[in-house]
């Protein structure tokens, strides 16, 4: 028989926001708590407007036995036709607060880990005396901006586009206006009000987990720890525990065919192209992209989704499930002319298996933080193609500071369209050019650093162990 400390497991509840970009990292965090830190986890799932892709992920037989997925009853939510994406997400969460509270009261956890758009749940924690933690699923660069936003909002009366220079969160690299998230570019919008609301509540947590590590974001992590501003506003302890990424994924027959094709390609020769679970291109951009890719004569795997001229995040909540007719959006004859050179895949691909394959030499990505970390973990240089949310901030950091990405130039400054000649240039550069070789070398250095911080004795693993130990101590005190 072991001691009470050895046999008791802390019970942690985790509340992710809607969308695969939030479900995936918090699920990986939950798996790490169970497998590597001997915790019991209740994973609370908001099912309102949940995609079939999300449901399949959370019903996977590969989940550990001490990770319990708790599906909350779907709430009836009324949406206005013109409601923006972030507002829609926040309204969904707000309307589910009753079922969230009921689930927490029914099986009271030792701590609640909350996604960044679920900050209203802090009130439940206060009422029930449960310590709240945030898991920040985006970059630390974006976290620094979010912590600074309430101060910026008080100090500035105009729209941010009217400021004479970039926004400079204390201790961090400046953020040009064009790289800000769209949700703060109109301070009169509901999206802005929601993001300001959540940013104001970040300091109410017991701690903030960041899915990053010192070698990837040294300037920002150092600022959050040491700059007087963050201490003055009461920033909770910052816990770098990343990079936590998917380590395995179920493979379909189509996935196996894709990987078999990769097996026949030379090392570092294939460009993997995917714009995340929610990203979409306009019809004009799809045409330019296809022509540029064809002109490059480089090998590729392209995850194609239907175009959207209305929104770059057009597939966010549906997670790109309408996969039947994706190829109809490509130029006529494209798939035939590129046969043998590339693969066009509808909607979903085994991303972890592709990025970890030795034939993959580059990743054209929307720079969502999950995809970014998966690329870092596998040492793959990137072509940065940001679409929405904080992705432009990530792209700037990855290209200008970290040195593992290149961002294509638009046809006209301030215009979104990237021409076929530019696409051909960056694809060739990453797979063939000297600059691409330098990026690949830097990416592989970060790959080694990422492996070290997650190993026994590594900084990220130790950081999470310290927090889990504090939960265990609190649990022992409450039962003694």
Q: Is residue 336 a part of any domain in this protein?
A: yes
Task: Dihedral sign for Cα 185, 187, 191, 195, please.
Answer: positive
Same domain for 299 and 171? Answer: no
Same domain for 191 and 314? Answer: no
Q: Is residue 22 a part of any domain in this protein?
A: yes
115 is catalytic: yes
Q: Is residue 43 a part of any domain in this protein?
A: yes
What is the pLDDT confidence band of residue 6, given thresholds at 50, 70 and 90? Answer: very low
Average pLDDT value for residue range 239-265: 93
Same domain for 277 and 146? Answer: no
Q: Is residue 468 a part of any domain in this protein?
A: yes
Q: 145-180, pLDDT tens digit by residue?
A: 999 999 999 999 999 999 999 999 999 999 999 999
- 22, 198, 239, 378: which one is catalytic? 22
- 37, 110, 115, 190: which one is catalytic? 115
Task: Dihedral sign for Cα 151, 156, 162, 168, please.
Answer: negative
Rounded to two decimals, what is the model's pTM?
Answer: 0.93
Residue 389: Cβ-neighbour burial (10 angstroms; 0-12, 13-18, 19+): buried
Q: Is residue 295 a part of any domain in this protein?
A: yes
CB 330 within 8 A of CB 372: no
Q: 385-399, pLDDT tens digit by residue?
A: 999 889 999 999 999
CATH code, domain with 41: 3.40.50.2000
Residue 310: Cβ-neighbour burial (10 angstroms; 0-12, 13-18, 19+): exposed
Same domain for 292 and 420? Answer: yes
Structural tokens at position 152: 């910026």
Provide the 10 A C-beta neighbour count for residue 232: 10
Q: Is residue 153 a part of any domain in this protein?
A: yes
Same domain for 43 and 182? Answer: yes
pLDDT tops 70 at residue 20: yes
Q: Is residue 187 a part of any domain in this protein?
A: yes
Same domain for 331 and 461? Answer: no
pLDDT of amino acid 326 = 58
Secondary element (H or E) of residue 250? none
Structural tokens at position 254: 């189509």
Query: In total, how many domains does the chain have?
Result: 2
pLDDT of amino acid 2 = 42
Same domain for 435 and 465? Answer: no
Q: Which domain holds residue 297?
A: 253-450
- Top-confidence residue, 8 or 472: 472
In terms of phi and psi (left: phi > 0; alpha: psi -120 to 50; beta: otherwise), the region of 117 is alpha
| φ, ψ dihedrals at 444, nearest 5° | -75, -30
Task: Give the list of residues 6+ apart from residue 362 with CB closer than 8 angstroms, or none.
Answer: 270, 271, 272, 380, 381, 382, 383, 427, 430, 431, 436
Same domain for 277 and 190? Answer: no
pLDDT of amino acid 313 = 53
pLDDT tops 90 at residue 314: no
Average pLDDT value for residue range 233-250: 94
Omega of the bond prior to 392 within 30 degrees of 0, cis?
no
Same domain for 275 and 238? Answer: no
Same domain for 55 and 195? Answer: yes
Same domain for 126 and 145? Answer: yes
- Top-confidence residue, 146 or 48: 146
Q: Is residue 344 a part of any domain in this protein?
A: yes
Name the DSSP letter for residue 17: P
Same domain for 383 and 437? Answer: yes
């Amino acid at each position: 028989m072991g001691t009470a400390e050895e046999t008791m497991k802390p019970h942690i509840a985790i509340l992710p926001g809607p969308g695969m970009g939030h479900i995936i990292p918090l699920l990986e965090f939950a798996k790490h708590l169970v497998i590597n830190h001997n915790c019991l986890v209740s994973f609370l799932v908001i099912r309102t407007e949940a995609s079939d892709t999300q449901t399949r992920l959370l019903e996977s037989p590969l989940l550990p036995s001490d990770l319990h997925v708790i599906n909350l009853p779907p709430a009836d939510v009324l949406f206005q036709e013109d409601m923006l994406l972030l507002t829609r997400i926040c309204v969904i969460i707000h309307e589910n607060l009753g079922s969230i509270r009921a689930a927490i009261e029914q099986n009271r956890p030792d701590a609640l880990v909350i996604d960044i758009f679920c900050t209203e749940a802090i009130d439940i924690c206060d009422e029930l005396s449960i310590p709240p933690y945030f898991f920040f699923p985006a970059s630390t660069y974006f976290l620094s901006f979010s912590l600074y936003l309430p101060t910026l909002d008080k100090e500035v009366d105009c729209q941010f586009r009217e400021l004479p220079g970039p926004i400079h969160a204390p201790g961090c690299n400046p953020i040009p206006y064009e790289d800000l998230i769209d949700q703060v570019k109109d301070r009169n919008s509901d999206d802005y009000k929601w993001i300001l609301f959540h940013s104001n509540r970040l300091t109410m947590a017991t701690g903030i987990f960041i899915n990053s590590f010192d070698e990837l974001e040294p300037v920002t992590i150092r600022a959050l720890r040491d700059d007087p501003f963050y201490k003055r506003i009461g920033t909770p302890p910052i816990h770098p525990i990343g990079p936590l990424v998917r380590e395995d994924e179920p493979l379909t027959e189509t996935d196996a065919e894709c990987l078999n094709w990769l097996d026949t390609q030379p090392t570092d020769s294939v460009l993997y192209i995917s714009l995340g679970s929610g990203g979409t291109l306009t019809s004009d951009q799809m045409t330019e992209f296809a022509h540029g890719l064809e002109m490059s004569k480089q090998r590729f795997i392209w995850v194609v989704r239907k175009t959207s001229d209305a929104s770059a995040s057009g597939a966010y909540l549906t997670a790109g499930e309408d996969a039947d007719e994706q190829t109809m959006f490509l130029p006529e004859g494209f798939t035939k002319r590129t046969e043998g050179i590339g693969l066009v895949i509808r909607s979903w691909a085994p991303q972890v298996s592709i990025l970890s394959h030795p034939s993959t030499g580059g990743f054209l990505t929307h720079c969502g933080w999950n995809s970014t970390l998966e690329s870092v973990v596998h040492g793959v240089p990137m072509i940065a193609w940001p679409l929405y949310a904080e992705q432009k901030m990530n792209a700037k950091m990855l290209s200008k500071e970290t040195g593992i990405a290149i961002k294509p130039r638009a046809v006209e400054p301030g215009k979104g369209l990237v021409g076929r000649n530019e696409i051909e240039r960056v694809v060739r550069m990453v797979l063939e050019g000297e600059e691409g070789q330098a990026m690949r070398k830097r990416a592989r250095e970060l790959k080694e650093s990422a492996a070290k911080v997650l190993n026994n004795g590594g900084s990220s693993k130790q950081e999470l162990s310290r927090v889990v130990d504090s939960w265990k101590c609190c649990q022992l005190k409450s039962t003694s």
